[in-house]
Chains A and B, each alone.
Chain A
């Protein structure tokens, strides 16, 4: 498969300059856009000071994409958008058209291929996510399978502007959070629930013991010896299953088929619009893995979406809605059980305790 080595060897070229990939209409109007309108779900129209109009047709991307499908997108771009397209920060694809006559034929062709248009304004956009069982060693769950199952159930909300405000879902398959889900309207987070199984003999061969000990946020890893060689032991009561030790040392595996699963977090946002950015808070501490379609996770997410859609005001993000009605009402309306796990007991935990006598009855 390998072709002849390229000569001379070059490095540090950096990414290609973006200007090479900009459509002529973008180059001409760069920095001179006046306003935009959303003409339909998935269809943006940006109007420049010059009067030029750029139409962006946004379609759902699968994130995991074969080279075959990349070529299909390239072919569609050649046919309809002068060979230009871009991706969004949420793994959607945007075809950039200057001819409005091409919109409907492109949309029809994409739909036929299984790529729906949407994700704009007050819809549910694509889920950003991590690798899961497809490519990660520390995953407590798969990512793509849950994303596919959840978005199958929510697809109508991708293709319609029918939410009170935009709703952003993210999934990370362990606490490492390559997907940094911690500021999402709804976050699906893989969790481990057993301490690492220390492979005592292997530790000194493959790991640096001081680094390993220092990797534990709660100081649960202590030095020990095995056959006169340095190794470690874990104070299990102090472990909160973050997996950081496993990241620095392969002899500390903590994956477990029955005890790994998902947690659901709600009410985070990154935008500064109206209220300040905020973290997502725990809604459901644990749901077991149930591949291939994770019906309990899908049901939990759909329930939260439905309750939010029914009760929130226009422009109110999930977290803003919950802050208005209060957390007790959130648990009441969603029917989600409130447990001891919902109460923080890590650093600065007291900041989240209700420090007033203001209670709703």
Chain B
């Protein structure tokens, strides 16, 4: 059994995870444990989990900060007598800056606050994107929160609320960004502060802003509302740079044209011609030859809805809701759209039903009726192949 005395805990199994070329989380916990006793007890309890092949955390409880319904994940050890310093070991989710940019000063500010109030252990970052401050007691939650707020940081989302929106690096560093992802993410986050901090939905709601169809923030797999940048006009081509790729080892026919999903490109050994009408804007050719090809100039985003992990009715990918919104109109369009979506979800969503599952349950046509969007063929991979059509009945016969 791992030793729970106040000295250094026994960590024979965990010590084996200090070896090897990859950064070691055990070294990190041990670094924190030099000045923090809860990190010591975390090591002790984790060693015991490694011995017994089972976790030792109890189900979360209702803890938080005054006036917020989320942002704190309650956590308690199930063997507090043995590891008293992690008897309470709550987590704070802190809303990261868009694009995860920091100054050294900002990192030190977070480090100093967390050293004063918690375990000294963080996650950079959690799965949704928040800065995770891992492990403190109930008494420390409010003081930590207030220090964070005064330093310009706020808590992220948890529970049945808007979760912390996230964005790829976008225009800050990427030539492929088709709209300003970081600005949209920031504006949405500020606009929905109330919905983020005070859970009032059937379940969670996530926004993710990806600047191009490469989708570096996995929005199509992980966001209830996926905003994926794209363009409408022609791919910008620099012929001389195409020639340079061709003469320096890129097999344009094989690596670019043959892998184009819509086969819209032709290469005659000298010139690359693109039938832009057939382009599906997948990014492959641009990824292969970034100096030669660029997204077009008429930029905006596709808005998709409904992706989620399996719980409860199975995993979903987001599907197209609006095929193109010009970049300048994104924020207003999303705000207007989200109001209608949330109204419908509030009324018809059952407990723990994500918007994607509600759409599956009532059908996309009924959902479109509810939010006032007209159906367009871009919304489906194919029209229905079954004849069980719910023709809408009206006076005097079917419509």
Contacts and interface: CB of A to CB of B under 8 A. Distances in A.
B147 A6 contact: yes
Contacts of A96: 173
B67 interface: yes
A15 B98 contact: yes
B104 A152 contact: no
5 contacts: A64-B25, A68-B32, A70-B124, A83-B104, A134-B46
Interface of A: 1-3, 5-6, 9-18, 20-22, 26, 30-31, 33-37, 46, 54, 56, 60-71, 73-75, 77-78, 83-89, 91, 93, 96, 114-116, 128, 130-137, 139, 142, 144-145, 148-149, 151-152, 155, 172, 175-180, 182-183, 211, 214-215, 217, 242, 244, 246-248, 250, 255-258, 260, 268, 270-275, 277, 279, 289, 291-293, 314-315, 346-348
B337 interface: no
Contact of A292 (B13, B67, B149): B13
B14 A273 contact: no
Nearest to A253: B59
B190 A14 contact: yes
Contact of B106 (A21, A31, A270): A21
Contact of A66 (B121, B127, B129, B173): B121
B171 interface: yes
Most buried by B among A12, A61, A144, A244: A12
B139 A137 contact: no
A16 B373 CA distance: 35
A233 B146 CA distance: 45
A314 B288 CA distance: 11
A135 B221 contact: no
A151 to B, nearest CB: 4
Given A3-B116, A68-B120, A271-B215, A46 B100 contact: no
A148 B173 contact: no
A89 B17 contact: no
Given A128-B127, A144-B17, 16 more contacts: A10-B150, A14-B95, A15-B154, A31-B180, A64-B29, A65-B28, A68-B31, A70-B124, A73-B107, A86-B102, A89-B217, A145-B25, A250-B59, A271-B213, A272-B215, A346-B314
Contacts of B261: 274-275
Contacts of A256: 54
B392 interface: no
Given A61-B124, A64-B134, A89 B311 contact: no
Contacts of A217: 311-313
B315 A182 contact: yes
Interface string B8-52: 000001101101111111111101101000010010001001101
B232 interface: no
B25 A144 contact: yes
A277 B17 CA distance: 34
B266 interface: no
B370 interface: no
A119 to B, nearest CB: 12
Contact of B103 (A34, A56, A83, A178): A83
A242 B56 CA distance: 19
From A87, A115, A260, name the one whose CB has the most chain B CB atoms within 10 angstroms.
A87
B54 A255 contact: yes
Interface core residue of A3, A62, A71, A215 (most chain B CB under 10 Å): A62
Contacts of B135: 135
A60 B22 contact: yes
Contacts of B120: 66-68
Contacts of B352: 215, 244, 248
Interface in B67-91: 67-68, 75, 89, 91
B55 A137 contact: yes
A115 B60 CA distance: 34
B31 A63 contact: no
B283 to A, nearest CB: 5
A301 B149 CA distance: 43
A10 B54 CA distance: 40
B140 A135 contact: no
A250 B56 CA distance: 13
Contacts of B50: 133, 142, 145, 291-292
A222 to B, nearest CB: 17
A6 B39 CA distance: 26
B276 interface: no
Question: B interface, how many residues as a size bin?
Answer: 35 or more
B186 interface: yes
Given A66-B28, A257-B53, A347-B313, A273 B213 contact: yes
A222 B186 CA distance: 45
Interface centre among B23, B103, B216, B288 (most CB of A within 10 A): B23
B7 interface: no
B218 interface: yes
A86 B282 CA distance: 27
Q: Which 7 A-B pairs have the closest CB atoms?
A: A152-B20, A250-B59, A177-B309, A74-B104, A272-B213, A62-B23, A67-B111
Contacts of B60: 137
B218 A89 contact: yes
Contact of B189 (A15, A178, A215): A15
B241 to A, nearest CB: 8
Contact of B23 (A36, A60, A135, A250): A60
Contact of A15 (B23, B96, B173, B291): B96
B182 interface: yes
B244 to A, nearest CB: 12
**Which of A2, A6, A16 counts the most chain B CB atoms within 10 A?**
A16
B338 interface: no
B146 A180 contact: no
B172 interface: yes
B17 A289 contact: no
A141 to B, nearest CB: 8
Contacts of A211: 351
B108 interface: yes
A135 B173 contact: no
A63 B104 contact: no
Nearest to B94: A15
Contacts of B222: 180
